[in-house]
Structure 1
Amino acid sequence: MILITVGTEKFPFNRLMRWVDLLLQHDLIGEEEVVVQYGTCTVLPGGARVYRLLKEQDFQDLVRRARLVIAHCGEGTVLLLDSMDTPFLLVPRSQRYQEHVDDHQLELAQALASIGVPIAWGPADLVRFLAEPSKVSIGDLSVAAARAVCHRLEQLFPAGSPSPQPLLPPPLTR
């Protein structure tokens, strides 16, 4: 079972729902059950079992049972998923698409990607990770990796500087 959660934000994450719908339409997920907690999304993937909101215990039970969790890149969600023993893939929300108030999820995703945490920048990344999910624990990072994340965040937010410009995902490579 694949669990997809977009959180409960007031901003819909329809871009991710469209990606999942595309994968389901083209049979790129196969026969595996897809469960979606969609929050405020107005686009829902056909063929998925959907819930607007799940109780915390029900959500954690689904995470434990899932082969893979695909989630937004919110700090709380990242910490929760990292504490559980299920492979996860993060998809950052963007202000550019009216999915969040700012681009801090993009910034966090870039910092996490620099230390090997799986991030999906587009539907092709979802397909790749579905084929070969891997469990990366942020808690098991070496001191050097933790310093690399801190260094990356310092580059994004230098002391005394104005708000950083929104970051865009890296271009897709072929």
Structure 2
Amino acid sequence: MSGSARLVFVSVGTDHHPFARLVEWADAWAAKEHGPGVRCVVQHGRSPAPRVAEGHAYLEHGELTALMAEASVVVCHGGPTTIAESRRRGLLPIVVPRSPRLGEHVDDHQERFCARLAASGLIAPARDEAHLHELIDRALADPEAFRAEAGTDSTAAAVRRFGDLVDDLLAARAVRRGSRPRSA
């Protein structure tokens, strides 16, 4: 992060459903006076661009991760990859899951996923617009409260466990095939 500038980075992900609700909430936050040196960048996808915050429809992966690395605060949809990328950079993401009832997604998997992560303290869920604004303000005022231990994401452990399970299944299958009588 350059100098005393603080970045609030907001990402709605790449799903084809618009997520105007999060863009509007973030833009309303950006419209408030936050003092010098606060920048809000919103990756808005198919949603209308923000009017006040800096907006980008889509970002290349390198641009997205560079903004996350620079960010003081990450606000995102309930996508696992965005949440993991944020945590990998040592930030506890503020998350607004997409709602199928509002046409933001096809089903409620983001809501269910985020409920589990919130129960484990892995995200800071925002219930509504006022709560989102409060969480962003709190994260800027007390950055340590919104830190995650960088690199402690359990993805590597999950991949190893998955690999072990596949190896076990393949070994069991080989044993079953070896024990079957072969036809002539």
TM-score, length of structure 2 as denominator length: 0.69
Task: Tell whether 2:139 aligns with 1:127.
Answer: no
Shift of 1:22: 2.3
Shift of 1:85: 2.2
Structure 1: state its 5+ residue gaps: 142-174
Instruction: Considering fraction of residues, name the structure with more helix.
Output: 2
Count of matched residue pairs: 140
**Which secondary structure does the structure 1 equivalent of 2:136 belong to?**
helix
Structure 1 Cα separation of the partners of residues 34 and 102 of structure 2: 25
Deviations 1:135-165 (A, max 9, x none): 2359759xxxxxxxxxxxxxxxxxxxxxxxx
Residue 20 of structure 2: aligned partner: 14
Question: Which of the pair has more CA radius of gyration?
Answer: 2
Structure 2 Cα separation of the partners of residues 28 and 90 of structure 1: 22
Structure 2 Cα separation of the partners of residues 14 and 61 of structure 1: 24
Task: Tell whether 2:10 aligns with 1:4.
Answer: yes
**Which secondary structure does the structure 1 equivalent of 2:90 belong to?**
coil
Structure 2 Cα separation of the partners of residues 75 and 63 of structure 1: 15
Shift of 1:114: 1.1
2:65 corresponds to which of 57, 60, 63: 60
Question: Do 1:4 and 1:69's aligned partners in 2 also have CA atoms closer than 8 Å?
Answer: yes
Structure 1 Cα separation of the partners of residues 93 and 131 of structure 2: 13
Question: Do 1:4 and 1:70's aligned partners in 2 also have CA atoms closer than 8 Å?
Answer: yes
Residue 112 of structure 2: aligned partner: 107
Deviations 1:29-65 (A, max 9, x none): 55511111111112x3222111111111111111101
Task: Tell whether 2:58 aligns with 1:46.
Answer: no
Residues 140 and 85 of structure 1: CA distance in aligned 2, closer, same or farther (over 3 Å): closer
Comparing 56-65 and 79-88, the one that deviates more: 79-88
Cα RMSD between the aligned structures?
A: 2.2
Residue 83 of structure 1: aligned partner: 88
Shift of 1:130: 1.5
Question: Do 1:13 and 1:41's aligned partners in 2 also have CA atoms closer than 8 Å?
Answer: yes
